[in-house]
């Protein structure tokens, strides 16, 4: 089981990010320049607003330090393939969703190591493990940035092959993610049982606030309804697999999962329940 976790965790995230990259065209990145306002608001909400909201929510819910760190790590993660899927189901602006996910995922190489190191030191204090910002940056590059770039390159140089393998990659990513979540819950079952009520409430509140905040920010920015829906989902839906992986990298746990991974594992389940009513409402209101 430990070997499955140790190998499966980074593999799951790498496959998820590769599947994201394979779905991208090089021209998707040029969309940032053509749609600066929509992209700027979405990126601002994810990179700046998300951690601030998470920190505020943690001040309202008393959690053990390691679980608090886990929630902060989750807040640093980009949307991932799930946010793209939910944007499509919501009749949102899928192109904008994919661009935001891809660019913020690449930006995480810079933002995540710095903010993750701060979160660990802030919540754990003297009990904090030795943190290497460069080490976190290298891990983020290898398991997120590099697979995305590899996928984009494959799509550009072998488009037919990329289109053929994309559905299989997406299915493999889903299966691996489910295994990772189940493994994280099993490895920390006693911690989960002791804290599930407060932790669940904190994660649900965080999810709800972020979805609503993204929608409000996009509305204030004068974006279209399709763009508003997309910004809302991109702000409220995080890459839980990346949160679990970051927890493992930072904690240095070589066997099983660190308790820091537990919030992301629980969130990997609750986010669908929270997002479902919004997706239904978004679909009901239509595309315009």
Distance CA 131, CA 220 (A): 39
Distance CA 216, CA 210 (A): 10
Confidence of residue 20 (pLDDT cuts 50, 70, 90): confident
Contacts within 8 Å (CB) and 24+ apart, 164-168: 165/22, 166/19, 166/22, 166/23
Distance CA 31, CA 95 (A): 9
Distance CA 60, CA 49 (A): 17
Distance CA 112, CA 110 (A): 6
Residue with tokens 């002791």: 194
Q: Is the dihedral of CA 268, 274, 277, 281 positive or negative?
A: negative
Asked if residue 37 lies in contact with residue 12, where contact means CB atoms within 8 angstroms, the answer is: no
Spell out the domains of the chain, with CATH numbers in brackets.
2-282 (1.20.1530.20)
Confidence of residue 1 (pLDDT cuts 50, 70, 90): very low
67-92 residue pLDDT tens = 999 999 999 988 777 888 888 888 88
Distance CA 184, CA 205 (A): 22
Greatest Cα-to-Cα distance within the chain, rounded to the nearest angstrom? 53
104-139 residue pLDDT tens = 888 888 888 889 989 989 998 887 777 778 888 888
pTM of the model: 0.84
156-207 residue pLDDT tens = 888 888 888 878 877 777 777 777 777 767 776 777 777 778 888 999 999 9
pLDDT of residue 4 exceeding 50:
yes
Integer CA distances (angstroms), 38 to 32, 116, 209, in order: 9, 27, 20
215-261 residue pLDDT tens = 999 999 999 998 999 999 999 998 888 888 888 888 766 555 678 88
Integer CA distances (angstroms), 89 to 31, 277, 278, 279, in order: 21, 12, 11, 7
Distance CA 227, CA 246 (A): 30
Residue with tokens 């998707």: 28
């Amino acid at each position: 089981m430990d070997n499955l976790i140790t190998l499966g965790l980074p593999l799951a995230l790498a496959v998820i990010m590769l599947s994201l990259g394979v779905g991208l065209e090089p021209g998707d990145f040029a969309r940032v320049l053509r749609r600066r306002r929509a992209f700027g608001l979405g990126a601002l909400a994810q990179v700046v607003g998300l951690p601030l909201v998470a920190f505020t929510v943690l001040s309202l819910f008393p959690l053990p330090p390691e679980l608090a760190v886990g929630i902060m790590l989750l807040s640093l993660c980009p949307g991932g393939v799930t946010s793209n899927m939910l944007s499509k189901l919501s009749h949102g602006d899928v192109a904008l969703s994919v661009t935001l996910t891809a660019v913020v995922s690449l930006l995480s190489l810079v933002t995540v190591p710095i903010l993750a190191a701060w979160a660990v030191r802030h919540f754990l204090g003297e009990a904090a493990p030795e943190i290497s910002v460069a080490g976190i940056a290298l891990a983020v590059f290898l398991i997120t940035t590099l697979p995305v770039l590899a996928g984009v390159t494959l799509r550009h140089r072998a488009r037919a092959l990329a289109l053929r393998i994309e559905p299989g990659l997406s299915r493999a990513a889903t299966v691996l993610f489910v295994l990772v979540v189940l493994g994280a819950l099993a490895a920390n079952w006693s911690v989960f049982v002791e804290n599930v009520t407060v932790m669940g409430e904190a994660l649900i509140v965080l999810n709800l606030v972020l979805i609503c905040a993204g929608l409000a920010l996009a509305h204030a920015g004068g974006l279209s309804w399709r763009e508003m829906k997309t910004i809302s989902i991109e702000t409220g839906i995080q890459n839980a697999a990346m949160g679990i992986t970051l927890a493992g990298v930072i904690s240095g746990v070589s066997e099983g999962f660190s308790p820091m991974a537990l919030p992301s594992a629980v969130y990997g389940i609750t986010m669908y329940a929270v997002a479902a009513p919004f997706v239904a409402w978004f679909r009901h209101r239509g595309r315009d």
